[in-house]
Structure 1
Amino acid sequence: MNVTEYIASGILESYVMGAVSDQERREVECLSSIYPDIRQELDQLSEVLESYALMHSVEPPESVKAKLLAQLDFEKPVRETIVRPMPIDMTTANSSPTFRVTWIVAASMGLLLLLFSFFLLSQLRTNQKTLAEARLDNSKIQAEVRQLRDQKTQADQALAVLRQPGTRTLELKGNDKAPQGSMLVFWNSQTHQVAVQVQSLPPLPADKQYQLWYMVGGKPVDAGVFDVLPSADLVQRLNRSVSQAEAFAVTVEKRGGSPTPTLSTLLAMAPVKA
């Protein structure tokens, strides 16, 4: 069942104002006990109508109470009054101008009250929608701030690698599979830290990621995965410890990395000069 469409159908407003059939009433009560969103919407509608009634309620003047008490004599014995029905010509009463005017005024007031109630409900829904959009925008901003904070932290860590004495810089150029590819590898053989700076590499699908390898004894070893960042000036520090390396290479692997390189996706390789 689509709860959002059911709430937007207007059946809940009709239920709160008592303008539904017995079957519709039972249906609303049943669904409100099953779906919390419908129950919450009913509670909000009831609060709106109650607030409106309280807002427009009129207290009777104190003089009315005094007049009623003055007309009542509690000391005299109460005599039993015989009430006999008075014959009334309903045709005449219903056709009288006063009756018609009274009925028209009452119907008009009821219609105005109904229209104003729908206006209040419409305003409530608009405010709820605006609040939801504001919360969504706030969540997006918070996500962007967290992303920028993470990038700054990573950049600070990579910058620390570059500033350490003994850090070497290797340039990896793309092969025929990435002729315009270019990146730098920063490696410190003393601290065993490694970082990369992507200057130009082809963008990858969401389920793929670049992976760096270093060669030891002619065998490739995982050096970590990295992405193509929005700016070519950003340096990414990898979370692997590289104590010795004969060469560095780059392949395309599934997101998260692979234990062994896929040679068919090898894009670049450069030896470590003595």
Structure 2
Amino acid sequence: MGAVSTQERREVECLSSIYPEIKQELDQLTEALEEYAFLHSVEPPAALKTKLLQQLDFETPAVQPLKAEETIVRPMPVDPFTGGPTFRVTWIAAASMGLLLLFFSFYLLSQLRSNQKTLASTRSANESLQTQLRQIREKLTQTDNTLAMVSQPGLRTMELQGNEKAPHSNILLYWNTQTHEVAVQTRALPALPADKQYQLWSMVNGKPVDAGVFDARNESKLIQRLNRAVTRAEAFAVTVEKRGGSPTPTLSTLLALTPIKS
């Protein structure tokens, strides 16, 4: 009915083409407006046509000269909005239906935007829960594997204390002399930059042998299984190396060296 801007009308048309529920609602409102107009229309009395025909004179009247003193009087145009009560009621009803349609369209738009925000928030929360669930499953798998390792016969447990460079460092070492598996639990270790890692070394005949790398996970207290097999060891040492490990230890970063008691 021309009560909205061009941009708003385009938005409603676009949404109605995307969502069948909106188009169906608009069609129902249009039909209701038409039914309302037909329902409140007033038929003229049947005798009005006969009365008008009797008053009309279809004979050509003789042209009478205008007198000089006569004044030509023309009726003023009638404002359609000041017409009869029936016209005013119809116009008010149509305007009310137009405003109702406008408000309902804004309501649909607000509900649609609110539902879209809720859906986006639900998807984000679901993705976050999926990530947390995946991390929990990985930790449970790691814990089960570690428990299976430490429950096997031949397991030796020793504590590696930090030297003067890291006096508060504390590492618990698990070494299975039968399966040759090694794992560590970091109780207290300084945090390292992202490009650095701790590396474990097993001393065999006085020479260091790579036993794997690990990170400082003091807050989790998880047991980290290393990816190297240790068949023999006279002592274990820990150094700080570049991420991924080093083929030879950096003695200047030696943090702990603990001999194995026989």
Range into which the TM-score falls when normalised by the shorter chain: 0.5 to 0.7
Q: Residue 208 of structure 2 is aligned with which of 194, 199, 219?
A: 219
Decide whether the 8 Å contact of 2:174 with 2:184 is kept in 1: yes
Decide whether the 8 Å contact of 2:160 with 2:172 is kept in 1: yes
1:188 maps to 176
Number of aligned residue pairs: give it: 216
CA distance in 1, matches of 2:162, 2:255: 5
CA distance in 2, matches of 1:241, 1:13: 71
Paired residues for 1:58-207 under 5 Å: 58=31, 91-98=77-84, 99=87, 102-206=90-194
2:12 maps to 17
2:54 maps to none
Decide whether the 8 Å contact of 2:240 with 2:250 is kept in 1: yes
Rg larger in 1 or in 2? 2
CA distance in 1, matches of 2:224, 2:158: 15
Decide whether the 8 Å contact of 1:248 with 1:272 is kept in 2: yes
CA distance in 2, matches of 1:264, 1:111: 82
CA distance in 2, matches of 1:258, 1:214: 14
Return the letter of the residue paired with 1:15. R
Return the letter of the residue paired with 2:23. E
Between stretches 124-133 and 202-211, larger displacement belongs to 202-211
Deviations 1:29-62 (A, max 9, x none): xxxxxxxxxxxx857755353132255465899x
Which runs of at least 4 in structure 1 moved beyond 6 Å after TM superposition? none
1:52 maps to 25
CA distance in 2, matches of 1:134, 1:260: 51
Structure 2: where are the runs of 5+ without partners?
Answer: 39-74
Decide whether the 8 Å contact of 2:211 with 2:227 is kept in 1: no
CA distance in 1, matches of 2:7, 2:214: 54
Q: 1:144 to 1:227 in 2, by over 3 A?
A: farther
Q: 1:235 to 1:222 in 2, by over 3 A?
A: closer
CA distance in 2, matches of 1:174, 1:222: 18
- The DSSP-based 3-state class of the residue aligned with 1:122 is helix
Deviations 1:254-274 (A, max 9, x none): 544445544444332222334
Q: 1:100 to 1:254 in 2, by over 3 A?
A: farther
Q: 1:90 to 1:267 in 2, by over 3 A?
A: farther
Decide whether the 8 Å contact of 2:202 with 2:237 is kept in 1: yes
1:228 maps to 217
Q: CA deviation at 1:182?
A: 0.5
2:63 maps to none
- Identical aligned pairs, as a percentage? 53
Decide whether the 8 Å contact of 1:158 with 1:237 is kept in 2: yes
- Provide the aligned C-alpha RMSD in A: 3.5
Q: CA deviation at 1:186?
A: 0.7
Q: CA deviation at 1:191?
A: 1.0
**TM-score w.r.t. structure 2 length?**
0.67
Structure 1: where are the runs of 5+ without partners?
Answer: 1-9, 19-40, 65-88
- The DSSP-based 3-state class of the residue aligned with 2:78 is helix
Return the letter of the residue paired with 2:210. V
Q: 1:42 to 1:144 in 2, by over 3 A?
A: same
Return the letter of the residue paired with 1:225. F
- The DSSP-based 3-state class of the residue aligned with 2:112 is helix
Return the letter of the residue paired with 2:189. L
Q: CA deviation at 1:136?
A: 1.7
CA distance in 1, matches of 2:95, 2:243: 68
Deviations 1:161-215 (A, max 9, x none): 2222222112111223322111111112221101111112233455544332323
